[in-house]
Chain A
Amino acid sequence: MAKKTNKTLESMWDYAPSLESTGHINLKESYDLYIDGKWVKPSSGKYFETNNPANEKVLAKVAHGNEKDVDRAVKAAKKAYDTVWSKMAASERAKYIFRIARLMQERARELAVIETLDAGKSIRESRDIDVPLACNHFFYYAGWADKLEYAFPNRNFEPIGVAGQIIPWNFPLLMAAWKIAPALAAGNTVVLKPAETTPLTALKLAEIIELSGLPAGVVNIVTGFGDTGAAIVEHPEVNKVAFTGSTAVGKHIQRAVAGTDKKVTLELGGKSSNIIFEDAPIDQAVEGIINGIFFNQGHVCCAGSRLFVQESVADLVVRKLKQRMDSLYIGDPLDKNTDIGAINSKEQLEVINKYIKIGIEEGAEMYQPNCEIPSKGYFCKPTLFSNVAQSNVIAQEEIFGPVLTIQTFRTVDEVIQKANNSPYGLAAGVWTDKGSRIFNLTTKLRAGVVWANTYNKFDPASPFGGYKESGFGREGGLHGLRAYVKLK
């Protein structure tokens, strides 16, 4: 008997799929615009579809807001600012923000599943990172709302007014939280446009905001495309523009607000370096590399997409990295086993594939694990390019996908030069056992965030933002409040 059983035990042990259920979520067939505390139809009457990138099925229809709708939203925000929100005691504002945080927490599971459906990210990430972090941003800024005099000691300050906010598709709910929470805490009102491929969690957030009893017009959500965003940026009664997205659009916004008194913060692209020294804890560093580039399918503005490894350990690191890549699970984002989910959209998948082709043509050596990817939906295998030089296109341009380039270096000075040799400057990672080397690099790397012996670590109390073409202004922490007040 035992012998027979032993034989079956020698066979492969595969995990059963562990799918998060979708039975508990509540999605409407179509969503209108949330303006002045009401759900209103778009004046154009036009709706667009948002789909699930993992199976290309339509999830819902969403209103396409135009200039007129934006105008209504901004007017509502202005009225709410003038008559209610700026007059309200700060401690009362705090209560509303706190209530939104609590309601989000109560619906965390639903928000996580919808985020995964709409954005393609793995349920593991939306459940454990996106949603809890988004809640924490509201909690954190709720705490600041009535303590602003301690945030800006010995200064007089006032809110800016109406904030026009445009957010990207990589962390839809989290970016909404990053934008809305500090704006409200500082006493501003908001018109927010989510990305066209991922509008659903922002609309669920609108439902939560409605439920929280927040006064009408304080937060308005206008869905749409680039033209909707442009209408927000160009609206004369918008006092502040906050944008997270591509550098190209960021530059466009800069031009559009030139000559106005609008305040602007931009959080744009990146090509961040992740630097491994020979004395680093190699296994931990390999985990850090994986997390740095494959987190959220590489759709992370601060993704550690340029890996620098000291030559003495390069072979070892590359071997371990390949081994680790082989054990990643790519597939259904709703499966709790999945490490890498679906690419956000067909367009983005085409962009990534274009860069992979360029990498091969440039003569870089490519490695992809030998794994199956689903035939339906937009998927991309984790990809590694070695034999890469600074002058390669794949080492210069932001790919925004699971594609890593590896370069080697010999000395500290060399790697600092190479890491800084980029138009971007959003983040960097440094892996070494030596504390003094960490401080040496943090002072010399031109990047908004430098992580030591970790990567992609986020906290509401910690500011985030870039140098150079990665943008300006900081979000998160005390610094994040600064973008939403006028100091006198």
Chain B
Amino acid sequence: MQGLKMVLNMIDLTTLEGKDTPGKVKQMCYKAQHLHDSYPDLPPVAAVCVYPSMVGIARKELKDSIVKIASVSTAFPSGQAPMSVKLEDTRFAVSEGADEIDMVISRGKFLAGEHNFVFDEIAAIKEACGKARLKVILETGELSTLDNVRRASDIAIHAGADFIKTSTGKIQPAATMQVTYTMLMAIRDHYDRTGKMVGMKPAGGISTSKLALHNLVMVKEVLGEQWLTNEWFRFGASSLANDVLMQILKTETGNYQSPDYFSID
């Protein structure tokens, strides 16, 4: 139960579609703060995650709620845009009120061996973020080997990432346990060397409570208890929340309830 509530509180409730509208974002923002009002004492999710153009709307909805606003940027999901556009994209999202920026790395450059380029790009975006925390999306599904995942994690961490994140959710495979484990190890090694904590966000493909708990166990075993808060660990997911709610109510009542009893915003 504690684990399930922890999962809820670590979710970045996400909508990243071409067809997103202000209406859709408003509904999601409400859901973020009222997951299941008929059940008391549920935490809200950690953040909502939207495109830069929707940040303003989300800010208006959430006002000064503890639910944070994360915005993808740097020509998400492909990252195929010039540096100036990526910086502008980031500055726009921050100025609209984003607390967190989810950037994508240039996977093409990375695979071509231009690691310096990738490093410099992350560092520049980090600077453009100002006070906003930076999550760096490696898009591990395109990196293809765990060695590459590890290398990209190290680059991102050294370039100033506050979080490293597996995927955009647009490419399969996304957040597999192997990939998350590899990234957690990179974070652990960095912490052992420098004493600095870096956050982790698996995103894409984690849609069941069981899988989410598997992930939490990994975090606990590899990094320890201090990472088990939404300051240092997040799930990027759109449909996970309802499954967790369903499990919480099942634990409470002993029976599974129809999905129709859980709102789908």
Contacts and interface: CB of A to CB of B under 8 A. Distances in A.
9 contacts: A2-B66, A4-B41, A5-B9, A5-B41, A9-B2, A9-B5, A9-B228, A13-B2, A13-B225
Given A5-B5, A13-B228, A319 B192 contact: yes
A21 B221 CA distance: 26
A5 B5 CA distance: 9
B44 interface: yes
Contacts of A459: none
B41 A1 contact: yes
A327 interface: yes
A65 B100 CA distance: 73
B192 A9 contact: no
Interface in B3-46: 3, 5-6, 9, 40-44
B216 A13 contact: yes
A6 B225 CA distance: 14
Interface string B180-222: 0000010000001000000000000000000000001100110
Contacts of B3: 13
Contacts of A5: 5, 9, 41-43
A9 B9 contact: yes
The 3 closest A-B pairs by CB, nearest first: A5-B43, A327-B221, A2-B44
Contacts of B221: 327
Contacts of B5: 5, 8-9
Interface string A1-19: 1111110111111010000
Contacts of A158: none
B228 A6 contact: no
B229 interface: yes
A113 B246 CA distance: 32
A279 to B, nearest CB: 13
B43 A6 contact: yes
Interface residues on B, range: 20 to 34
Nearest to B217: A15
Contacts of B217: 15
Given A5-B43, A11-B2, A13-B225, 7 more contacts: A2-B44, A9-B9, A9-B228, A9-B229, A12-B225, A13-B6, A13-B216
Nearest to A10: B229
Interface of B: 2-3, 5-6, 9, 40-44, 66, 185, 192, 216-217, 220-221, 225, 228-229
Chain A CB count within 10 A is highest, among B5, B41, B43, B220, for B43
Contacts of A327: 221
A232 B27 CA distance: 78
Interface in A183-199: none
Nearest to B146: A281
A13 B2 CA distance: 7
A327 B6 CA distance: 21
A106 interface: no
A13 B229 contact: no
Chain B CB count within 10 A is highest, among A1, A3, A11, A283, for A283
A283 B185 CA distance: 8
A319 B216 CA distance: 24
Nearest to A281: B147
Chain B CB count within 10 A is highest, among A6, A9, A10, A319, for A9
A4 B3 CA distance: 16
A1 B41 CA distance: 7
Contacts of A9: 2, 5-6, 9, 43, 228-229
B66 A13 contact: no
A290 to B, nearest CB: 12
Nearest to B42: A5
Nearest to A3: B66
A9 B43 CA distance: 10
Contacts of A11: 2
A313 B9 CA distance: 40
Contacts of B43: 2, 5-6, 9
Nearest to B228: A13
B165 to A, nearest CB: 21
A402 B175 CA distance: 35
A6 B42 CA distance: 10
Contacts of A6: 9, 43, 229
Interface string A316-333: 000100000001000000
A5 B43 CA distance: 6
A319 B193 CA distance: 12
Nearest to A11: B2
Nearest to B219: A13
A462 to B, nearest CB: 25
Interface in A390-424: none
A4 B66 CA distance: 13
A15 B221 CA distance: 11
A283 B181 CA distance: 11
Nearest to B3: A13
Nearest to A15: B217
Nearest to B10: A9
Contacts of B44: 2
A445 B216 CA distance: 42
A315 to B, nearest CB: 12
B1 to A, nearest CB: 9
A5 B9 CA distance: 9
A285 to B, nearest CB: 13
Nearest to B40: A1
Contacts of A4: 41
A8 B220 CA distance: 17
Chain B CB count within 10 A is highest, among A8, A10, A13, A15, for A13
